[in-house]
A and B are shown apart, each in its own frame.
Chain A
Amino acid sequence: MNNFLTIRNNQRVESGSIPIVDYINFLEFNTGLLQDSKNHCVNYFGFLKNGKLHLINCVANDETEEIYLSSTKLPLSKNEEYQSLTARHTAFHLFEREISENFGIRYSDHPWQKPVRFPASSGNNLKMDEYPFYQIGSEDLHEVGVGPIHAGIIEPGHFRFICKGEQILHLEIQLGYQHKAIERLFLEKKHLLQRTILAESIAGDTTVGHTTAFVNNFETLCDYQPDYEKKFSRTLALELERIAIHTGDLSAICSDISYQLGATVFSRLRTPIINFFQSWCGNRFARGLIRAGANNYQFNKDLKESLLGILKEYEQDFEEIVQKILHHPGSISRLEKTGVVTLEQAIQIGAVGLSAKASGLARDVRVSHPDDFNKKLNHQFIIKRHGDAYSRTQMRREEIRQSLTMISKMLDALPETFNNEHQILNPLPNSFAISLVEGWRGEICHCAITNEHGELELYKVKDPSFHNWMALSLAVRKNEISDFPICNKSFNLSYCGFDL
């Protein structure tokens, strides 16, 4: 008998068909898979059923488009200690911390068993300001604490640095300030529209990414195949979101290296793109655009003409400023060799998306786990090798160019008429579905399980930031503390996507 089940992106399986093995087999199987860097863990989570803790691990193979599901059951006993997967592969560390926080599972050899989000429901008495930070008791060193409220208009998080003079030796990031129990709300709110609005609010800057992952997942649970128009709209919106946010990020990077012209030009270049969303669906972040089984805002010829005009103007001004900034000695000297994440580190922590690609690790759902629409577009990887802030800045330029090409390809093939069907959807009972979407930050993964009545029993959201915050901690080591802002902006990770 197999100890795992192979599925693909946007595929539904009977939840009972995932083989349940004993914990040691489960541990060895999954850590064994990760010995090969073409495999990475896309989601690992637990949920309670009939008084037992079910653990499900989803490991994706980036070459064969396969996802390996394996499962185990644990009794809920406070005395038992388990071996951790983390001790054998670091990429599991946050998943296990989350399981430990939510269900009280204790690990005998987890090197970093600390709180993740401080949920009120966990029964953990630790307060937000009692996080057990790593400390080094040396008189030569000093600690710097930043946050949760930061200088600009951004989300809250606490950063604790251990520094030797100006140099950062260690950074520990405490999150959880934004925690609002989104996953539980998915189960409590019974209407599809409520859940869609929730998905739109997981991370406001990735509205399209998370909503697409949600509707793909929900449609998969209902065995519903979305028509061409729906896929077209979603893919187009994803690429536009990528262009818009990358442009905003370039602006933020420019302001952190004090290059005012770049900051101003990029920030105004973002405006026409998100305003296009508004003329398409009434909201600058594309809220309202993506719906399961429906498409309320049809894309049409007029929108195509207006988008072509916007992108043409955008491209000219974008190329002009991006050439200037990426060849400017002042900006190169600030960005190059700043905040390096090596390929080994990226593999070790299971980095995804832009941060992984900048370090030479080819992880992009559009290539490795494409849906049939993406397959037709024949998307290619963009890879940079140095893993520094400069690589991540270059990645944004390349990805914007790539998205522009992709969009013009899509618009060329815009069909004359769309078939715009609305479908009332009902999830099938006893099902498991997984959806992967490449948001602008990287891989978004939504998993859902239904019970025997077809009601959601589990909804699990994973933002790419869940993997990548660790990359920021590693990147700033041996850098000057004054370079922290550029390192941070070069990743631009999500607080709310992590905190949920």
Chain B
Amino acid sequence: MIKTLKILYHQGRQFIPDLSNALLKPPFRGRPFINSVKINDTELEMTCPTGAISTNPVRIDIGKCSFCGECALKFPNKISFTTDYKLATNKRENLIICEGDDYPVRLDNDSIKREIKQLFKSSLKLRQVSAGGDNSAELELNATGNVNFDIGRFGIEFVASPRHADGIVITGPITSNMSKALQICYDAIPSPKIIILCGTEAISGGIFAGSNELDRQFLDKYPIDLYIPGNPPHPLTIGEF
């Protein structure tokens, strides 16, 4: 008993008191910033492994970005990654960062469904489905529940049964082999329900975009309520909503 108490005492305080004001240090790669200096745009475009960079003007789609940071290493005057981890939004177009943009990724308050605001304000139970994920986003989702991040304190919890859930969190690029199970799981969740795409692979397919073993039709059928970019998203990015 005393030993147990000693162990407890030795842990000290582990939780992050204020998740939305926690600071991360470089080299953490959060929201990218694109400078307006002129460089060889085509070369920049070619650098990106996932085709997230487009030109005229230079834009980075953080829904496609694998956050490898290679563009910033190659063109340090043009692109830098800030430590801003607040990347989640409910609008796909807000994930596209344009040249010169230096403001946080915005949540569009007006387009959030009213029933979501009312019903899920202080309690949100989610069912997670890994559809071809590589277990990194899954590990980070698990980490949001540990003593360090502890999103349970905001009433957010991951549940076992879709019947108990208010929404679904999808990780992975959605493989054909998983598409049926994903649909069954979504159908089993009572309405109103939300869909959250967690990680670059879920949002755009990431590095797997174009593989013939994917079946992303599910995403065309329903509106997406939240995009959480990252490869994998940092627990603070996930916790922030």
Residues of A within 8 A of B (CB): 117-121, 128-129, 148-149, 151-156, 176-181, 184-185, 188-189, 191, 193-194, 196-198, 201-205, 207, 248, 261, 264-265, 267-268, 271, 278-285, 287-288, 296-297, 316-317, 320-321, 324, 494-496
Contacts and interface: CB of A to CB of B under 8 A. Distances in A.
A189 B66 CA distance: 15
A178 B133 CA distance: 7
Contact of B11 (A204, A265, A283, A285): A265
Nearest to A321: B7
A180 B175 contact: yes
B231 A287 contact: yes
Nearest to B176: A120
Nearest to A195: B49
A197 B207 contact: yes
Contacts of B10: 316-317, 320
Nearest to B68: A288
Contact of B135 (A151, A189, A204): A204
Contact of B26 (A152, A181, A184, A282): A282
Interface of B: 3-4, 6-8, 10-11, 14, 24-29, 47, 49-50, 66-70, 73, 81, 128-143, 146-148, 158, 160, 172-173, 175-178, 180-181, 185, 201, 206-208, 210-214, 231-232, 234
A156 B27 CA distance: 33
Contacts of B70: 193, 288
Contacts of A152: 142, 158, 160
A201 B27 contact: no
B185 to A, nearest CB: 6
A287 B67 contact: yes
Contact of B136 (A189, A282, A285): A285
A154 B138 contact: yes
B213 A120 contact: yes
17 contacts: A151-B160, A153-B158, A156-B178, A176-B177, A177-B131, A177-B178, A179-B177, A203-B135, A204-B136, A205-B139, A261-B7, A264-B11, A268-B147, A282-B26, A287-B66, A316-B10, A324-B7
A294 to B, nearest CB: 9
Contact of A149 (B142, B181, B210): B181
A379 B232 CA distance: 33
Contacts of B211: 180-181, 184-185
Given A128-B177, A201-B208, A324-B4, A153 B141 contact: yes
The interface centre, meaning the residue of B173, B212, B214 with most chain A CB atoms within 10 A of its CB, is B212
A251 to B, nearest CB: 8
Contact of A204 (B4, B8, B137, B185): B137
B172 A178 contact: yes
Contact of B177 (A177, A198, A205): A177
B138 A153 contact: yes
B208 A180 contact: yes
Contact of A185 (B141, B147, B176, B208): B208
Contacts of B135: 154-155, 203-205, 494-496
Contacts of B11: 264-265, 268, 317
A468 B213 CA distance: 25
Contacts of B234: 284
B175 A121 contact: no
A422 to B, nearest CB: 10
B134 A204 contact: yes
Contacts of B27: 278-282, 297
Given A194-B207, A197-B49, 10 more contacts: A176-B177, A180-B208, A201-B207, A204-B134, A204-B135, A264-B146, A268-B14, A271-B143, A282-B28, A283-B29
A283 B67 contact: yes
Most-contacted residue by chain B among A176, A197, A297 (CB, 10 A): A197
A197 B70 CA distance: 11
A321 B68 CA distance: 36
Nearest to B206: A201
Closest 5 CB pairs of A and B: A204-B136, A282-B27, A151-B160, A204-B134, A194-B49
A308 B158 CA distance: 35
A296 B74 CA distance: 11
A193 B68 contact: yes
A175 to B, nearest CB: 9
Contacts of A148: 178, 181
A316 B7 CA distance: 10
A149 B7 contact: no
B49 A202 contact: no
